[in-house]
Amino acid sequence: MKVLITDGVDFQCGQILAQNGFEVTEKPKITKEELKEIIGGFDKLIVRSATKVTAEILEYAPNLKLIGRAGAGVDNIDIEAATRNGIIVMNTPGGNTISAAEHACAMMLSAARLIPQATADLKQGNWNKKKFTGVELEGKTLSIIGLGKIGREVAKRMQAFGMKTIAYDPMIPDEYAAHLQIELLPLHENFIRADFITIHSSLNESTRNLLSRDTFELMKKGVIIVNCARGGIINEADLAEAIESGKVACAALDVFETEPVSPENPLLKLDRVIATPHIAASTNEAQEKVAVQIAEQIVAWKQNGRLEGAVNASAVELAQAPGVRAYLTLAEKLGATLAQLAAQEAKKMTVRTSGEFLQKFNEVITAAALKGFLDVRLSKETNYINAFTMAKDCGISLEQKFEKENPDYTNLIRVELENGSTKRMIGGTVFGDKEVRIVMIDRFLVEFKPEGNIIIYNNIDKPGVIANVTQLLLQHNLNVAYIALSRDEEKKEAMTAIVVDGDVTPELLGEIRTVNGVSSACLVSL
């Protein structure tokens, strides 16, 4: 268990990991090229914000199983590429919440009273009281864009200054916001009503350039803007124009689109811009908290499989719930069996679960079925994290369905595979706590334990077929462990599953296919 720690993560992180049996290497100022050279020797990587864990870097990390971010943001990590490679990405939500919230509040106060500008002017020997007339916070409207942990802590502190707090966050219920004395409003209404705007959302395609020329036009003249979240959420060129025109009275920025920020950035040349070098979480307390937290999360994962702070492993977290393990084993077996039964390429897979217990596990059961299927069809290793992206790469469309109950089984999993007009289906259940059984294939109700080598064949329902097949098995010195039969009396067809002890050769399978009445035969190895 080799861990690489970069970016000067507090020493307590490595200390805790070493005490719990990890082999720790610390490279606080590693370059991109140096990282590419050594990352292949590690199965865990811990970073802060400086190390960019890109898809290119991950190509050099075949053994990597986990990336830990000592902090909340993960925009320096390519989540999609990590997921595609089956790598868990884990952060430390809440570890630097207070530090970031306090910094945002400090920036807001500084912008309202122009404290840094007045300090610099005074140190130059001036005494310009009128030049630095500020504004009060009391009675003003503060818009909080992103009402996560940091946004909520900012709201609490600024309410103490007498500010009216409004917010935009599509993930937060109105009732919860009202409990915090925050009024949730559409985004454009936040821009129209706010005297101050503070940003606390992540950077993604929906938030990139969220504040730009069009949105600045909606705002009050003299609005004050604070961004201690992520660069790129504000269009920097448009912000500079808005400050120069007087639309924005002052901007306080801890983050920039490109970091380190260029000295030529036009925002740095404006008197009405307060800037700090991405230090909102840079307090002794915060750095200690996130370092200890990420180490403890990794130790917990090692010792009991518990995933805390995993941002791309909801299926893995669900898999740890009591009672679900046997159903995941079943789902993998169903996927693997179907992959061997169906000769055609998969264009669409549908996973159906029945029974109230299985309802909340739909996602992880689907991931397990995909893993079982793709492990047979592909040479690359699949897991619950990358199963969905791997299926997408293979051109498999996916559908998940749930029904509250099934007339025959308390809990049932069915996996269907389609390619044009061709469709195959397999279903199974768990008896007791762990007795996994396949109970249906296509239209046949046939029950057997999905283990070992299983010969499955379809035949005309007539006397002598099973006798002839078992005679062939005897000739090949194979012992029959179990036989399951199913008949379609209307169509005079049957299906048989024979579990055998020993290996089934291609020659034997070919002989079974020539038995009079046998229409198809295949081997399933589990």
Reply yes or no on whether the pLDDT at 394 is more than 90: no
Please report the domains of the chain, with CATH numbers, ordered by start residue: 2-92+286-312 (3.40.50.720), 97-275 (3.40.50.720), 323-525 (3.30.1330.90)
Least confident of 106-115, 301-310, 352-361, 399-408: 301-310
Q: How far apart are CA 113 and CA 129, in angstroms?
A: 11
Q: How far apart are CA 402 and CA 371, in angstroms?
A: 20
Beta strands in 271-371 (DSSP E): 273-275, 348-354
Q: How far apart are CA 468 and CA 474, in angstroms?
A: 10
Among residues 23, 80, 259, 403, the one annotated as catalytic is 259
**Residues 368, 409, 314: CA angle, nearest 5 degrees:** 25
What is residue 81's predicted lDDT score, i.e. its pLDDT? 87
Average pLDDT over residues 357-366: 90
> What confidence tier does 452 reach under pLDDT thresholds 50, 70, 90?
very high
406 within 8 A of 389, measured Cβ to Cβ? no
List, for residues 203-258, the tens digit of each pLDDT value. Answer: 888 899 999 999 999 999 999 999 999 999 999 999 999 999 999 999 999 999 99
SS (H, E, C) 290-312: HHHHHHHHHHHHHHHCCCCCECC
Average pLDDT over residues 142-167: 96
Average pLDDT over residues 473-493: 93
**Residues 77, 81, 87: CA angle, nearest 5 degrees:** 80
Average pLDDT over residues 365-374: 94
* Amino acid residing at 83: T
Give percent above pLDDT 70 in the chain: 100
Q: How far apart are CA 422 and CA 342, in angstroms?
A: 9
The DSSP H or E segment spanning 328 is helix 325-341
Look up 278 and say whether it is catalytic. yes
Reply yes or no on whether the pLDDT at 120 is more than 90: yes
Task: Indicate the pTM of the whole model.
Answer: 0.62
Q: Which two tokens stand for residue 458?
A: 């379809």
327 within 8 A of 359, measured Cβ to Cβ? no
Residue by residue, DSSP assigns 184-248 as E--HHHHHHH-SEEEE----STTTTT-BSHHHHHHSPTTEEEEE-S-TTSB-HHHHHHHHHHTSE
Q: Which two tokens stand for residue 313?
A: 């492993």
386: nearest Cα among 406, 403, 370: 370
List, for residues 303-318, the tens digit of each pLDDT value. Answer: 988 888 888 877 777 7
What is residue 49's predicted lDDT score, i.e. its pLDDT? 86
319: nearest Cα among 359, 351, 355, 361: 361
> What confidence tier does 162 reach under pLDDT thresholds 50, 70, 90?
very high
Question: Up-side HSE of residue 295: CA atoms within 13 Å toward CB?
Answer: 24
Average pLDDT over residues 362-369: 92
What is residue 124's predicted lDDT score, i.e. its pLDDT? 96
Reply yes or no on whether the pLDDT at 165 is more than 90: yes
Q: In which region does residue 305 sit, left (phi positive, over 0), alpha (psi from -120 to 50) or beta (all else)?
A: left
Look up 230 and say whether it is catalytic. yes
Reply yes or no on whether the pLDDT at 329 is more than 90: yes
List, for residues 250-290, the tens digit of each pLDDT value. Answer: 999 999 999 999 999 999 999 999 999 999 988 999 999 99
Instruction: Count how many residues are written for the chain.
Output: 526
Beta carbons within 10 angstroms of residue 38's beta carbon: 14
Average pLDDT over residues 441-461: 95
Question: Distance of CA 417 to CAs 338, 344, 350, 397, 524, Å?
Answer: 8, 9, 7, 10, 16
Reply yes or no on whether the pLDDT at 320 is more than 80: no
End-to-end CA distance of the chain: 30
List, for residues 57-95, the tens digit of each pLDDT value. Answer: 999 999 999 999 998 778 899 988 888 888 999 999 788
What is residue 28's predicted lDDT score, i.e. its pLDDT? 93
For the chain, give the mean pLDDT. Answer: 93
Among residues 48, 69, 152, 230, the one annotated as catalytic is 230
Residue by residue, DSSP assigns 45-99 as EEE-SSS-B-HHHHTT-TT--EEEESSS--TTB-HHHHHHTT-EEE--TTTTHHH
Q: How far apart are CA 275 and CA 290, in angstroms?
A: 24
What is residue 232's predicted lDDT score, i.e. its pLDDT? 95
Q: How far apart are CA 18 and CA 33, in angstroms?
A: 26
53: nearest Cα among 22, 96, 90, 15: 90
Question: Distance of CA 177 to CAs 151, 173, 344, 382, 524, Å?
Answer: 11, 7, 52, 41, 55
Among residues 103, 278, 352, 414, the one annotated as catalytic is 278
Reply yes or no on whether the pLDDT at 33 is more than 90: yes
CB-neighbour burial class of residue 202 (10 A; exposed 0-12, middle 13-18, buried 19+)? middle
Question: Up-side HSE of residue 137: CA atoms within 13 Å toward CB?
Answer: 22
521 within 8 A of 509, measured Cβ to Cβ? yes
The DSSP H or E segment spanning 117 is helix 115-123
Reply yes or no on whether the pLDDT at 51 is more than 90: yes
Question: Distance of CA 346 to CAs 85, 397, 442, Å?
Answer: 22, 9, 16
Q: How far apart are CA 216 and CA 191, in angstroms?
A: 8
439 within 8 A of 425, measured Cβ to Cβ? no
Average pLDDT over residues 385-409: 89
**Residues 67, 69, 90: CA angle, nearest 5 degrees:** 60
